[in-house]
């Protein structure tokens, strides 16, 4: 059996450090807003290259906190790419605003800025590019689009911890950026966790308050009606240990991706596109194939995991469908052909050979 991701193998490789970090939280029992939370927030802000990091409950909450702090709500529209995990659009709906879906680029699978521009109305307040599968969106074009149209640029970095655009870490381009530490992400906790990063002191303060019942550091002093979305101390302790390994693990992902690309170069699968100006961190390795069902069957028979990220573009998904909007054709085509194959830092060349063998077999027909 070859899994899509092997969380246990990763845990075993750093077991003593993780166990020690968790035990030290247990010894102090500072489970909420403990020392490890503030330590991790500082480390992560430094890693991304921003002034502030605010830990929170998960990546969806991170997006929501940003939108709320930017005062985006009822009557406002936010541009979201049609191909992403549902959370990007849910966060918009959860603050009372309307997600407007834009199409994606056929090869990078990230936001198509020309299509996004056509969907801007006087109600549009923000644009949320998603660095899908670990690949940076075209940040120059998106920053230009946001600047010319006076939109907030909010990055969804949930799949791209450590990815870069023109030598700069993604997450440092927008007014604020959301990260998820869901266990299977490139930097994953051992449960739900998330964070926002920003250079704005005002926004940082506002988001910290919103995420902690409207309080600042003083308990029982409530400035706004907020919510409860805090980063657990145990999760923060785990994340501090794992952050030290993130670059090494991303490099292993890149090496594994290159191995697939070198093996599959002569086939007609459409492989991930990585431009020289970006550093892809291969959260997922996707191939595009015409008769996908048959290929999935071959994988299944051979005990190899594969998955579709995602089966339907969000613009035609029931909760969001709006018949007045032009559908996103590229996203629709890509969702019919895309398939994620096993890739994780601990994958072996032997495992990759087995996966590639199935792909060859299928290619030859
Ligand atoms: C995982 C993910 C999220 C949400 O993160 P959670 O921590 O699961 O709430 C948001 N956007 C994208 C693109 C994601 O992949």
Q: Is the pLDDT of residue 218 over 80?
A: no
Q: Which atom of ligand 1 is nearest to the CA of 61?
A: 9
Q: Which of 87, 159, 184 to mutate to test the pocket of ligand 1 (most atoms within 8 A of CB)?
A: 87
Which amino acid residue places its CA nearest to atom 10 of ligand 1? 87
* Token reading at 254: 């890149």
105 or 219: which carries more pLDDT confidence? 105
Q: How far is the CA of 359 from the centre of ligand 1 (A)?
A: 29
pLDDT in tens, 240-254: 999 999 999 999 999
Which amino acid residue places its CA nearest to atom 2 of ligand 1? 158
Which residues 6+ apart lie within 8 Å of 68 measured at CB?
95, 207, 210
- Please check whether residue 196 is in contact with residue 66, taking contact to mean a CB–CB distance below 8 angstroms: yes
3-state class (DSSP) for residue 225: coil
CA 331 to chain centre: 18
Q: Which atom of ligand 1 is nearest to the CA of 194?
A: 7
Angle at 76 between CA 134 and CA 52, to 5 degrees: 50
Taking the alpha carbons at both ends of the chain, their separation in whole angstroms is 23
Cβ(238) – ligand 1 distance below 6 Å = no
- Please check whether residue 306 is in contact with residue 156, taking contact to mean a CB–CB distance below 8 angstroms: no
The pLDDT score that the predictor gives to residue 364 is 86
The pLDDT score that the predictor gives to residue 79 is 98
Span 144-152, mean pLDDT? 98
Strands (E), the chain: 52-56, 77-81, 98-102, 124-127, 152-156, 164-165, 168-169, 176-180, 194-198, 278-279, 285-288, 338-341
Q: How far is the CA of 178 from the centre of ligand 1 (A)?
A: 9
pLDDT in tens, 159-204: 999 999 999 999 999 999 999 999 999 999 999 999 999 999 999 9
Q: State the alpha helices, DSSP H only, in 49-171.
A: 59-69, 87-94, 113-118, 139-148
Q: How far is the CA of 52 from the centre of ligand 1 (A)?
A: 20
Span 143-153, mean pLDDT? 98
Q: How far is the CA of 85 from the centre of ligand 1 (A)?
A: 6
Cβ(58) – ligand 1 distance below 6 Å = yes
Cβ(57) – ligand 1 distance below 6 Å = no
The pLDDT score that the predictor gives to residue 293 is 97
pLDDT in tens, 268-308: 999 998 788 899 999 999 999 989 999 999 999 999 999 99
pLDDT in tens, 12-59: 999 999 999 999 999 999 999 999 999 999 999 999 999 999 999 999
pTM for the whole structure: 0.97
Cβ(115) – ligand 1 distance below 6 Å = no
């Amino acid at each position: 059996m070859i899994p899509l991701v092997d969380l246990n193998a990763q845990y075993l490789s750093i077991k003593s450090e993780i166990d020690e970090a968790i035990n030290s939280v247990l010894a102090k029992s500072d489970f909420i807003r403990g020392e490890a939370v503030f330590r991790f927030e500082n480390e992560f802000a430094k890693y991304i290259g921003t002034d502030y990091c605010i830990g929170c409950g998960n990546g969806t909450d991170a997006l929501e906190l940003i939108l709320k702090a930017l005062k985006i709500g009822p009557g406002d529209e936010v541009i979201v790419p049609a191909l992403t995990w549902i959370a990007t659009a849910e966060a918009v709906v959860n603050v009372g605003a309307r997600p407007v879906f834009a199409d994606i680029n056929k090869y990078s699978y990230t936001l198509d800025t020309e299509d996004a521009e056509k969907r801007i109305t006087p109600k549009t307040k923000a644009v949320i590019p998603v660095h899908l599968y670990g690949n940076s969106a075209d940040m120059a074009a998106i920053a230009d689009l946001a600047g010319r149209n006076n939109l907030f640029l909010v990055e969804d970095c949930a799949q791209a911890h450590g990815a870069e655009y023109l030598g700069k870490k993604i997450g440092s381009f927008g007014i604020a950026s959301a990260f998820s530490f869901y266990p299977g992400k490139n930097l994953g906790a051992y449960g739900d966790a998330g964070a926002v990063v920003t250079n704005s002191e005002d926004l940082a303060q506002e988001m910290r308050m919103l995420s902690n019942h409207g309080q600042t550091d003083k308990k029982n002093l409530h400035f706004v009606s907020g919510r409860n979305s805090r980063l657990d101390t145990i999760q923060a302790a785990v994340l501090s240990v794992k952050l030290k390994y993130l670059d090494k693990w991303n490099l292993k992902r890149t090496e594994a991706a290159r191995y697939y690309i070198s093996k599959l170069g002569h086939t007609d699968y459409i492989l991930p596109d990585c431009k020289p100006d970006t550093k892809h961190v291969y959260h997922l390795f996707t191939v595009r194939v015409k008769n996908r069902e048959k290929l999935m069957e071959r994988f299944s028979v051979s005990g190899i995991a594969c998955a579709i990220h995602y089966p339907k573009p969000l613009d035609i998904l029931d909760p969001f469908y709006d018949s007045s909007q032009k559908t996103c054709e590229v996203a629709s085509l890509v969702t019919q052909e895309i398939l994620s194959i096993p890739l994780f830092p601990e994958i072996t060349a032997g495992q990759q050979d087995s996966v590639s063998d199935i792909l060859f077999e299928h290619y030859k027909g």
